Structure 1
Amino acid sequence: MLKPRKFFLTAGVGFHEDPLVSFELALRDAKIEKFNLVPVSSIIPPDCVRVSLEEGLKELSAGEIVFCVMAKHSSGEEGKKIYAAVGGAKPISGHGYLVEYSGNYSGEDLDSFVRERASYLVETSHGKKPNEVFSISKVAEVKKITTVVAAAVFVI
C-alpha cells in the first residue's frame, strides 16, 4: 500500500524572464526542486503526521518521486500581486483534507481562507470540528515572470 506517513508544508517564489525557469526558481525557494513532484488530490491519511520542512526533507532524496498537493500561479503582469496557498485540517480520528488556491492577490487573509475551507471539509465529512488546522501561503509582487508555489509534500 502506498500511504504517506508524514507531510510537510513549504512555499516559494521565483522571478525570471522564462516561465519554466521562474517555476524552477520557486521550487528551489521552497526547497523541493530536487524531486519528481506528482500532484495528488486532497486527502491526508488518518495516521499521517505533519512535520517540519527540515524533518521531511531529511527523509527524501534527489530524483525521488514525491507526491504533493500544490498551488501554483505565474504571471508576467508587472506590479500585480499573486499568491499560492495550501491549507489543511485533521480530525482526532479519520482522514483529513488539504485545499489549494492560487491567483491574483487582493489583500485577503489567505491563511484564514484556506484553513476555513479545509475545516469545512472535515466538518461536513466527519460531523465534527478538526483537531488541527494549518496553512502556508506565499504572496509576491510580479517582476519579470513571477511564479509562486505552496505545497503539502508527502513522505511515504
Structure 2
Amino acid sequence: MITPHSYVLISCKGAADSRLNAFDAALHSAGIADFNFITVSSILPKGCKKTTMDAIKGIERGSFMYCVMSKASSNMKGETISSAIACARTKETVGVVTESSGSFSSRESEERAREMCKEMLSIRNATPSSIDTTSAEMLVEQGWGCCISLCLLLY
C-alpha cells in the first residue's frame, strides 16, 4: 500500500477556446500542467502534513500525481465560476478532503467545502483540529473558463 505523508493545496484558473485547453491553461498557470493527475476520494491518513509547492519541485514531469480535484468550467459569457478544496485534519482519526465547485463565488465554494468536512468528520465522531482551504474564482469573458482546486497527495 502507498500512503501519503503530506499534501499541497493549490488553486488556479485559465481561459481558452476549448474546455480542454482552458483546463490545461489553468494547470499551466499554477506550474503543474506536466503531471498526469489521478483523482482519488477524500481521506487523509492520520499524521499527513500540509506542505508547500516546493515539495513537488523534484518530482519528474510526466509522473503520476494523486489528487483530490474540484473543477468548474463554463463558456457562458458573464458567468462567475469557482472551485474550492477543504482539508480537515483531526487529532483522533483520519482527515477528510472535500470539494465544491459551481456558478458562485469562491467564498461560497470554500464555505460549502468546509461544511462538508465538518459533516464527514461528524459521521466519524471526530472534530477538526484544523481546516485548510484553497479556491479559485473567475468571470468568464470569452471562450471557456476553468477554475481548478487541488489537494496534491505526496508519497
The share of aligned pairs that are identical, in percent, is 26
**How far off is 1:5 after superposition?**
0.8
Matches of 1:38 and 1:107, distance apart in 2 = 24
**How far off is 1:29 after superposition?**
1.8
Matches of 2:6 and 2:44, distance apart in 1 = 9
**Residue 14 of structure 1: aligned partner:** 14
Q: Name the stretch that deviates more: 86-95 or 145-154.
A: 86-95
Contact 2:87 2:97 in 1 (8 A): yes
Contact 1:59 1:155 in 2 (8 A): no
Q: Is 1:50 aligned to residue 38 of structure 2?
A: no
**Residue 152 of structure 1: aligned partner:** 151
Q: Is 1:94 aligned to residue 89 of structure 2?
A: no
**How far off is 1:92 after superposition?**
1.0
TM-score by length of 2: 0.92
**Gaps in structure 1 of 5+ consecutive residues:** none
**How far off is 1:117 after superposition?**
1.6
Q: Is 1:34 aligned to residue 45 of structure 2?
A: no
Aligned-residue Cα RMSD (Å) equals 1.5
Matches of 1:40 and 1:119, distance apart in 2 = 19
SS in 2 for 1:83: strand
Matches of 2:137 and 2:105, distance apart in 1 = 10
Q: Closer, same or farther in 2 for the Cα pair 1:108/1:58, shift >3 Å?
A: closer
SS in 1 for 2:59: coil
SS in 2 for 1:79: coil
For residues 21-76 of structure 1, what are the alpha-carbon distances to aligned partners after superposition, in whole Å with 9 as ceiling and x for unaligned?
1110011123221111000000001121111223x323422011110000011100
Aligned residues: 154
The residue type paired with residue 49 of structure 2 is V
**How far off is 1:119 after superposition?**
2.1
**How far off is 1:107 after superposition?**
7.3
**How far off is 1:120 after superposition?**
2.2
**Residue 77 of structure 1: aligned partner:** 76
The residue type paired with residue 85 of structure 2 is V
**Gaps in structure 2 of 5+ consecutive residues:** none
